[in-house]
Structure 1
Amino acid sequence: MVRITLPEGLEHDLYGYASRNHAVPIMAAAQAFSSSVYRDSGLSLREFEGARMRTAQINGCQICRTFRAARDAPTMFSVGGETPGRMVTDNGPPPDEAFYDHVASWRSASDFSDRERLAIEFAERFAEQPKVLSADERFWARMHAVFNDGEIVDLAHCVAAWVGLGRVAHVLGFDTVCLVAPATERAA
């Protein structure tokens, strides 16, 4: 349910309406942060998508759970119909649907590399138990064994964007209208 007053006829443009009419500078900054995550992350696309999907599952954001970076990010972050020169979607092959189906069961699923599994675990713990995560020396030893410091900072900021902005979308009901129609809807 949408938690702000929306003029009749703008149900399809909920996020756009809010960004033009409420907390405009803050919403612009949030959009810039989100765009930067998709443009500037150096994580592999599978690491990125594993962490993003786990965050979406925890947040409950409908948009984020159906979003696929390889399919949807170029359209969502295009400016005047032009996609950015570089995006995370350039960082390796996209995951298949089985990958997304197994993210919630990352502990036992066999289709994740060590880095992918750690990225998913990081996202889960960041979203659910940040104080425990920050103090878990065994976890940090495992992270530092496969991620360098720059990659850890990259992952932390990606997850921060998804946790914060995904929760805003869910709590305010902005996730009831997708910003980018899935490929099947665009083709119809």
Structure 2
Amino acid sequence: MARVAVPENAMGNPFGYVLGQYAQPLGAAGGAFANAVYQSSRLPLRVLEAARFRTAQINGCMVCQSMRAARHVDQFIGAGGGDVSQSIVARGGEAPDEAFYLAVEGWREATDFSERERLAIEHSERMAQDPHGFAADEAYWVRLHAAFSDDEIVDLTLCIAAWMAMGRFTHVLELDTVCMDDMLAA
């Protein structure tokens, strides 16, 4: 049950309803930030999905956990008025399969991630769970800089920040009671 009023006819996409009805300037900015992540990031799809999915698991957002970028991003961008020709999916690159998503939580033991994908997952975890501790972990930053440029580190960090904010917003207000396919169909 949503923690703010959502009419029955909007329950197919309570997230979209709430962004459009309450605190409209902030809702519009949040929606634009979410769109920008999927339209403007220059990181490879699998790297982004590794970080995004780990963030979704940590946030507990069911919508985010049901999302699969290759299947949903272009619909999400289009629904928000964005340019799907610029999406992270439209740029191409290998799309994750279900085995990828199943392995994310146990990424330390999994063998199917590249070094950059592992670091993206770790960056997501550390931002969400230990923002003070990892800031001073010089060995971590050496590993991160060996795999990513400064532009890519900023890109990744901003993407994770957007997912943390919007995923927690969605979960805390219990707007995540539908799966992504149902939400986009609404």
Q: TM-score, normalised by structure 1?
A: 0.91
Q: Specify the alignment match of 1:162 in structure 2.
A: 163
Structure 2 Cα separation of the partners of residues 148 and 91 of structure 1: 21
Cα separation, 2, equivalents of 1:131 and 1:69: 30
Tell me: CA distance 1:178–1:27, structure 2 relative to 1, closer, same or farther (3 Å): farther
Q: Is the 8 A contact 1:38 1:88 kept in 2?
A: yes
Provide structure 1 residue ranges, at least 5 long, that are not aligned to the other structure.
Answer: none
Deviates more, 1:53-62 or 1:88-97: 88-97
Tell me the CA shift for residue 152 of structure 1: 0.1
1:146 shift after superposition: 0.9
Contact 1:76/1:179 (CA < 8 Å) preserved in 2? no
* RMSD between superposed Cα atoms in Å: 2.0
Tell me whether 1:144 sits opposite 2:148 in the alignment. no
Aligned to 1:176, the other structure's residue is in SS state coil
Once the two structures are TM-superposed, the CA of residue 179 in structure 1 deviates from its matched residue by: 5.2
Q: Could you tell me the percent identity over the aligned residues? A: 48
CA distance in 1, matches of 2:53, 2:8: 32
The letter of the residue matching 1:161 is A
| Larger displacement relative to structure 2 (45-54 or 82-91) | 82-91
1-structure distance, mates of 2:96, 2:180 = 21
Q: What residue in structure 2 maps to residue 74 of structure 1?
A: 74
- CA distance in structure 1 between the aligned counterparts of 2:165 and 2:152, rounded to whole angstroms: 20
Q: Using the alignment, how far apart are the partners of 1:59 and 1:80 within structure 2?
A: 23
The residue aligned with 1:53 is 53
Aligned residues: 184
In the TM superposition, 1:1-188 aligns within 5 A as: 1-79=1-79, 84-89=84-89, 90-178=91-179, 180-181=181-182
1:105-138 per-position Cα deviation (integer Å, ceiling 9, x unaligned)? 1101000011110010000111111111111101
Query: Structure 1 residues 5-14 or 66-75, which shifts more?
Result: 5-14
Residue pair 2:72, 2:180 contacting (<8 A) in 1 also? no
Runs of 4+ with deviation above 4 angstroms: 79-83
Which consecutive unaligned segments of at least 5 residues does structure 2 have? none
Instruction: Provide the secondary structure at the position in 1 that maps to 2:84.
Output: coil
CA shift, 1:13, in A, is: 3.4
Structure 2 length as normaliser, TM-score?
0.92
Structure 1 range deviating more: 91-100 or 160-169 = 91-100
Once residues 168 and 155 of structure 1 are traced to their aligned partners in structure 2, the CA distance between those partners, rounded to angstroms, is 20
